[in-house]
Amino acid sequence: MKTIDVCLSPELIHLYDVSNKTVVVVDILRATSCMVTAFAHGVESIVPIADADECMKMKYKGFVVSGERNGQKIEGFDKGNSPFEYMEDAIKGLKIAFTTTNGTQAIEKSKGARQILIGSFLNLSAITKYLLMSDHNILIVCAGWKGKVNLEDSLFAGALVDKLRKHIEPDCDAPIVAQELYLSAKNDMMKFLSTSSHVKRLNKLNIHKDIEFCLTPDQYDVIPALKRGELRLL
């Protein structure tokens, strides 16, 4: 039977052998939710970049530069990190260079994996279907917050484990922890997350509707995947 494991923070990734695994990177609030939304609205490709200055340089190569630090759009950048900025018709066909506080760092740290996919509640069923068909063991890498574990990414990990569990064996205890967390939160995830550190942080920026949207399952049937340093539709 295939196995599934959950890396609750990118700081723990050295404990896993990713070379033979499909890695699903998740940053529910809000990086991977934005990426999935952008592809669902016709973006051609996204280059995830860990460093903000490196990302800015991509502007001179014709890329739209997007992202945030500590939740706020970076000065001089074209776009920030709200999914609602990636729903316009004008984004069709764009090439975006993207940097975020945690999400793009988690992608960087996952490099070396057999395959890297971008997950969010918005494409939960699409990811589930794909993983059920694939032959490879799975690792969900939660972006967390600056190396620390967070609730929202752990909840997504639990939701995915819950959907796959009948067909896939947990490799360790983290998938069981995540699934239990999800089962206790699934009926009202907004309420469950109301005391989480990142929701409190984002509420200060007045972006309640982003949080609500990012927790909505199955809005889009797309899976972004990393190929030669850039994300494209699978």
Which residues are at the interface with ligand 3SL (CB under 6 A)?
27, 29-31, 68, 71, 81, 100-103, 143, 202
> Which stretches does DSSP call E strand in 144-223?
169-170
Q: Minimum Å distance from CB 70 to ligand 3SL? A: 6
Nearer to ligand 3SL, 7 or 164 (CB): 7
Task: Say how far apart CA 115 and CA 100 lie, in whole Å.
Answer: 21
Count of all residues that appear for the chain in the document: 234
Decide: 145 and 102 in contact? Cβ < 8 Å.
yes
Nearer to ligand 3SL, 132 or 205 (CB): 205
Q: Minimum Å distance from CB 30 to ligand 3SL? A: 4
Q: Minimum Å distance from CB 191 to ligand 3SL? A: 19
Query: Could you give the strand order of the β-sheet that contains 3-7, starting from the edge strand earlier in sequence?
Result: 72-73, 64-69, 95-99, 45-48, 230-233, 224-227, 115-119, 21-26, 137-142, 3-7, 169-170
Nearer to ligand 3SL, 99 or 115 (CB): 99
Q: Minimum Å distance from CB 99 to ligand 3SL? A: 9
Q: Minimum Å distance from CB 43 to ligand 3SL? A: 17
Residue 189: closest CA among 146, 223, 154: 154
Nearer to ligand 3SL, 101 or 115 (CB): 101
Decide: 73 and 80 in contact? Cβ < 8 Å.
yes
Nearer to ligand 3SL, 81 or 219 (CB): 81
Residue with tokens 């975020």: 100
